[in-house]
Amino acid sequence: MRDLLRWCSTLATAGHNTIDIDSPHRKESAKRTPKKICLCRIVISTDPPNRQIDNKYVAINVITQVQEVVVIRVVNRRLAYRNSSTAMMMMTIISRILVVSALLAAPSNAFMGGKPNKPRSTRLKAVPYKIGAKTEGVLMNNRFVVDSLRKVVPDDMEMGDVDLLRFALAYPDDRVGAEKALKNAIKWRKSTGKSIVDSAKDAVAKATANGGWDNEVVRDAAPHADVINKFITPKAVITTSTEDGDLVYVIRASQIDDKELMNKASVEQVCDFFMYAKEVHNIVANKRSEKGRLCSVLFANDISGVRKAPDKRFSQALTSSSDQYESLYPSLAGPTMILNLPLILQAFVGLLKPLFPKSVQERLVFKRAPVLASLKELTPLGTDPLIKTKFTREVVSLLP
């Protein structure tokens, strides 16, 4: 409850439009915020209220009666929900789910306060690109930066132009920053991440040996696969491709028994597992990018069926892998789509999204995906060409 109140106060200070959450039986108990103050006002009333918190930011009457039905009113739309305790519980759960999902789009340190460092200007300035840009053109525009970064790569390490290009694009005004990030990535690839990198490279080579893709080879080569693969299966997590070649990483959290998973595996082991998946994505996307189009990884987080908040240890593993993802694989991630939120919770999207940093907001998409929602599990996305085509076209249509 304390977290919910803090969340409400944060929303209030953000200057959003008014939202009332009140009881149909005691509307007169709702406190009115002066019109001249543009604040978020969330009012939860019951009869009788057991606690009230009023200040210039937010007015809240905490609900105590489990059976009392509340109405959530957004603008002029009325959405009925079963009972007040369930509504509050779902609001708390979904806020945690959205934060965990956003970790796939940006590292956790992006949510910290403070002023960003002022970028350094250099003569070797990278030129940004849009999704779908031709690799040759982007490389041509950034050739001087890429050639400069090439000098940092050791002779015994294989890194192509596309690998270096992604670092250049991540630091368009800071050659020194790009070199530092590249050095850190090289250090990780030669030490802590060496086994992950080597396993992913061998697995991709074997999976594509016959001209197709053998996903079981890649799954079996993952770190701690004997434990984790029992819980993270193609029913819940799968990677597919758009017709243009971008990768789509689909996760349906409701079909992962994350609590039991974390009882069997450590946070470090699960983090390594996700880092391996990211390295596989990196290899595949960069190979495709060499052939014409600079490919990205699109994230599709399906909230269908979610009834509880993620296990804290599972969230910790996601946080750890996302922190490393941004620094080790810059400019690889495309938009992150939060799909199929329950109708009752879609009303809060406009309030939640502005709380994220701009860099995250630009990559967050909240949409309904009917094709995805119609699937009982994600397996058909890898076995049924027709369903895969319908879904990937749906994803492309949802991109900002």
Q: Return the pLDDT at 91.
A: 57
Q: Which of 400, 379, 249, 261 is nearest to 325 (CA)?
A: 249
Q: Return the pLDDT at 175.
A: 85
Q: Which of 189, 230, 222 is nearest to 203 (CA)?
A: 222
* Among candidate residues 57, 80, 103, the one where a domain is terminated: 80
Q: Is residue 13 part of a domain?
A: yes
Strand pairing report for 237-241 and 77-80:
unpaired
Q: Is residue 70 part of a domain?
A: yes
139 and 165 Cβ atoms separated by less than 8 Å: yes
d(CA 98, CA 102): 6
pTM given for the model: 0.71
Shared domain check, 316 and 196: yes
Shared domain check, 347 and 274: yes
d(CA 75, CA 20): 9
Shared domain check, 181 and 269: no
d(CA 394, CA 386): 12
Q: Which of 320, 302, 200, 326 is nearest to 250 (CA)?
A: 302
Q: Return the pLDDT at 86.
A: 54
Query: Which amino acid type is present at position 56?
Result: K
Shared domain check, 316 and 200: yes
Q: Return the pLDDT at 102.
A: 53
- Where the chain has pLDDT below 50, the residues are 1-84, 104-128
Shared domain check, 202 and 178: no
Q: Return the pLDDT at 162.
A: 95
pLDDT tens digits, one per residue of 144-203: 999 999 999 999 999 999 999 999 999 887 888 999 999 999 999 999 999 999 999 999
* Among candidate residues 188, 207, 224, the one where a domain is terminated: 188
Q: Return the pLDDT at 189.
A: 96
Shared domain check, 182 and 202: no
Q: Is residue 103 part of a domain?
A: no
Q: Return the pLDDT at 95.
A: 57
Q: What is the CATH number of the domain that holds 251?
A: 3.40.525
Q: Is residue 392 part of a domain?
A: yes
Shared domain check, 159 and 232: no
Grouping H, G, I as helix, E, B as strand and the rest as coil, residue 188 is helix
Instruction: State which residues form the domain around 340.
Output: 192-398
Q: Is residue 87 part of a domain?
A: no
Q: Is residue 86 part of a domain?
A: no
Shared domain check, 327 and 216: yes
* Among candidate residues 45, 60, 80, the one where a domain is terminated: 80
Query: 140 Cβ partners below 8 Å, 6+ apart?
Result: none
Shared domain check, 247 and 220: yes
> How far does CA 258 lie from the centroid of its chain?
17
Q: Which helix (H) or strand (E) holds 268?
A: helix 267-289
Q: Is residue 165 part of a domain?
A: yes
Query: 156 Cβ partners below 8 Å, 6+ apart?
Result: none
Cα separation values, 223 from 36, 252, 282, 286, Å: 57, 21, 17, 22
Shared domain check, 182 and 205: no
Shared domain check, 166 and 18: no
Q: Is residue 30 part of a domain?
A: yes
Q: Return the pLDDT at 309.
A: 79
Shared domain check, 233 and 162: no
What's the structural domain count of the chain? 3
387 and 375 Cβ atoms separated by less than 8 Å: yes
